[in-house]
């Protein structure tokens, strides 16, 4: 489609002489704008994809895809109900849990936490790391054992083997009124879910001990249901709903965290639109630089026309010149964006060492590290958009060059 002569002329036009340096500077800024726009879009979208995926993995690491919660009817038949739910095709695990708010105190320090009663086998199936346990989860039994999030233990200065006091707001009635229940437990281990909310505010207790402490004998507060495939979990709601009967509630993970994930989706779309403007601005810079190039090369274009060059040839020369800047800038931005995403934690560490600032505080962003998940379809969309805008930016200057009248251009030469 493009001849070697057209490529040669376009390359010559892009190598500006000293007196044409200003045009070359504008073209350079256009190249940098496209490169940075493509790279920034790839990096930001990958980080937001990674943040959502990591957050979802951590949430589902401790919670199920579906949750059956006691309403008017307590879940005192949870063993039989769990067996019936497990019989549904596509259900992998059903975990009975009992939760309650407690105040964790030790050596004058205190912190609120969510106590979760759970069986040792179900706790072992969760996607979290344990430390300090001597014999695996065999220590997690009886009425005296608890496992704390490692951040909560560090905040209170607790170590494995020490005693910790738990105070429940659901007090016991006495002659002097309602008195909060307090009891000391032994820390048999800590866990790391790699999510600040859980590591600093959760503790696990054997289900039988939690039922005794929270005064809920023979009953649980909820059943966490884990499906074989998270994408099919929503389709399992109807058969589960038919089993649990009335007076109980069923909700999925999207409903429990709807506000968070909706906010992430809105922020992701807005960031995409805002960052796309960087490429649009670079495209306008390219238009201005090509128009100036056409005006500066008017005499050369006229000479080419008098030597037999067609309008189509002149059009293709400037299409090559403009599209080359856009294509090379897009390729550079593509490589820069992928390289940044692959080494994002290393780059984050370097910046933190140089500035002394914490760029990704776990207490603000929930996660303990900066994730990045590259979506090939999104990357392809960004590259295609940048190439399209670069090509469109060359059409008007190339059309003006092709419409140049050689007689008018050479009249005053």
* pLDDT tens track for 144-162: 899 999 999 999 998 888 9
Cβ contact 215:170 at 8 Å: yes
Same domain, 8 and 132: no
pLDDT for res 370? 72
Same domain, 47 and 145: no
- 76 belongs to a structural domain: no
Same domain, 215 and 274: no
Cβ contact 369:345 at 8 Å: yes
**DSSP assignment, residue 368?**
S
Same domain, 200 and 310: no
The structure tokens listed for 147 are: 């496992």
pLDDT for res 114? 92
Q: Please report, to the nearest 10 degrees, the dihedral formed by the alpha carbons of residues 235, 241, 242, 248 taken in order.
A: 180
The H or E element that residue 333 is part of is helix 311-342
What is the DSSP pairing of strand 163-174 with strand 91-106? antiparallel
Same domain, 283 and 403: yes
Q: Which residues, at least 6 apart from 101, have a Cβ–Cβ distance to it below 8 Å?
A: 112, 113, 114, 115, 168, 169
Domain boundary among 195, 219, 243: 219
pLDDT for res 273? 85
pLDDT for res 24? 65
Give residue 69's region: left, alpha or beta (phi > 0; psi -120 to 50). beta
- 63 belongs to a structural domain: no
Same domain, 401 and 271: yes
Same domain, 204 and 294: no
Count other C-beta atoms under 10 Å from residue 386's C-beta. 27
- 236 belongs to a structural domain: no
- 399 belongs to a structural domain: yes
Q: Which domain holds residue 367?
A: 4-57+260-410
Same domain, 29 and 109: no
pLDDT for res 204? 94
d(CA 44, CA 341): 9
d(CA 198, CA 151): 9
Query: Can you say how many angstroms the Cα of residue 207 is from the centroid of all Cα atoms in its chain?
Result: 34
Low-confidence stretches of the chain (pLDDT < 70) are 1-2, 5, 13-24, 26, 135, 171-179, 231, 357-369, 406-413
27-58: buried (b, 16+ CB within 10 Å) or exposed (e) per residue? bebbbebbbbbbbbbbbbbbbbbbbbebbbeb
pLDDT for res 407? 62
pLDDT for res 358? 65
Same domain, 51 and 106: no
Residue 251, CA distances (Å) to 77, 93, 127, 194, 220 in order: 19, 16, 21, 25, 17
- 39 belongs to a structural domain: yes
Q: Please report, to the nearest 10 degrees, the dihedral formed by the alpha carbons of residues 395, 376, 272, 351 taken in order.
A: -110
- 349 belongs to a structural domain: yes
Same domain, 299 and 388: yes
Residue 403, CA distances (Å) to 32, 282, 291 in order: 30, 25, 13
Q: Give the total number of structural domains in the chain.
A: 2
Domain boundary among 219, 246, 276: 219
- 70 belongs to a structural domain: no
The structure tokens listed for 215 are: 């005064």
Same domain, 105 and 10: no
- 86 belongs to a structural domain: no
Same domain, 13 and 145: no
pTM more than 0.75: no
The H or E element that residue 201 is part of is none
| pLDDT tens sequence across 222-279 | 899 888 877 677 788 888 888 887 778 888 877 777 777 787 788 888 888 888 888 8
The structure tokens listed for 225 are: 């249901």
């Amino acid at each position: 489609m493009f001849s070697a002569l057209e490529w040669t002329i376009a390359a010559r036009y892009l190598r500006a002489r000293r007196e044409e340096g200003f045009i070359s500077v504008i073209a350079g800024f256009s190249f940098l704008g496209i490169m940075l726009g493509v790279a920034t879009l790839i990096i930001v979208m990958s980080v937001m994809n990674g943040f959502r995926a990591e957050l979802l993995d951590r949430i589902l690491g401790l919670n199920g895809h579906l949750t059956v919660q006691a309403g008017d009817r307590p879940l005192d038949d949870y063993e039989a109900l769990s067996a019936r739910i497990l019989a549904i095709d596509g259900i992998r695990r059903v975990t009975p849990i009992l939760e309650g708010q407690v105040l964790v105190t030790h050596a004058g320090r205190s912190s609120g936490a969510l106590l979760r009663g759970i069986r040792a086998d179900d706790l072992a199936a969760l996607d979290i790391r344990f430390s300090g346990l001597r014999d695996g989860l065999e220590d997690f039994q009886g009425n005296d054992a608890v496992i704390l999030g490692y951040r909560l233990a560090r905040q209170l200065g607790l170590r494995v083997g020490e005693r910790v006091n738990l105070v429940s707001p659901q007090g016991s009635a006495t002659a002097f009124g309602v008195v909060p229940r307090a009891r000391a437990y032994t820390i048999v281990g800590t866990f790391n879910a790699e999510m600040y909310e859980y590591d600093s505010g959760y503790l696990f207790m054997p289900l039988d001990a939690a039922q005794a402490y929270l005064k809920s004998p023979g009953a649980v507060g909820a059943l966490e249901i884990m499906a074989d495939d998270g994408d099919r979990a929503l389709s399992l709601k109807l058969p589960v709903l038919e089993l649990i009967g009335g007076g109980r509630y069923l909700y999925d993970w999207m409903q429990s965290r709807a506000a968070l994930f909706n906010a992430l989706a809105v922020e992701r779309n807005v960031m995409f639109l805002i960052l796309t403007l960087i490429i649009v601005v670079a495209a306008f810079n390219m238009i201005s630089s090509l128009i100036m190039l056409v005006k500066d090369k008017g005499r050369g274009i006229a000479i080419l026309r008098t030597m037999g060059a067609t309008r189509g040839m002149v059009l293709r020369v400037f299409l090559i010149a403009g599209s080359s800047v856009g294509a090379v800038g897009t390729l550079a931005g593509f490589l820069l964006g992928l390289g940044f995403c692959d080494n994002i934690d290393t780059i984050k560490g370097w910046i933190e060492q140089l500035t002394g600032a914490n760029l990704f505080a776990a207490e603000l962003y929930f996660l303990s590290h900066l994730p990045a998940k590259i979506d090939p379809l999104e990357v392809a969309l960004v590259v295609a958009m940048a190439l399209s805008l670069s090509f469109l930016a060359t059409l008007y200057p190339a059309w003006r060059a092709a419409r140049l009248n050689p007689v008018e251009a050479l009249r005053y030469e």
